[in-house]
Amino acid sequence: MRAVIQKVSHASITIDRDHTKNMGPGLVILLGIEKSDGLSDIEWLSGKISRLRIFDDEQGIMNLSIQDVNGDIMIVSQFTLHASTKKGNRPSYIKAALPETAIPLYDTFIEQMHQDLGKPVVTGEFGAYMQVSLTNDGPVTINIDTKNRE
């Protein structure tokens, strides 16, 4: 799994140009699911994100987690995180999981984040056309790949 994590002051997602969901301060997680991903990737990534200390403490030092600040989380599926641009100019998405594999893993990741965070998360809709608006706070953007465990 690959995740792009952005600390935000607020964010919104519009699904199929119709339904909009909003959130306050917290994290927007763009999640790419690879063919070889499984439950261990979900558990590791969710735990890492929920404990990631990237929010300011009273001294302005990034020392607090999303749990510490009771922040919101938005999770958006994004297969393009597995784009390969090695050959030519048209990205290949051959490593990205097909929907029959990716959807159950995406749903399980959402549930795991809900459990780790202790509150519901805002989500996009797998496979739908979505527009995400956010204000990156800091700015802070972190990339995590479960295959590298870093």
As annotated, the active-site residues are 78-80
Write out the two tokens for 147: 């295959």
**Pair 114, 91: CB distance under 8 Å:** no
Element (H, E) at 90: none
| Terminal Cα-to-Cα distance of the chain (whole angstroms) | 12
Question: Is residue 7 situated within a structural domain?
Answer: yes
pLDDT digits (tens, 9 = 90+) for 121-145: 999 999 999 999 999 999 999 999 9
Question: Is residue 150 situated within a structural domain?
Answer: no
Q: Give the pLDDT confidence score for residue 149 in this predicted structure.
A: 82
The CA distance from 89 to 106, in Å, is 28
CATH of the domain at 67: 3.50.80.10
Average pLDDT rounded to a whole number, residues 13-37: 96
Q: Which residue has the higher pLDDT, 146 or 150?
A: 146
Averaged pLDDT score across all residues of the chain:
95
Dihedral, 80, 74, 111, 66 alpha carbons, nearest 10: 120
Our count of domains for the chain comes to 1
Average pLDDT rounded to a whole number, residues 8-31: 96
pLDDT digits (tens, 9 = 90+) for 46-70: 999 999 999 999 999 999 999 999 9
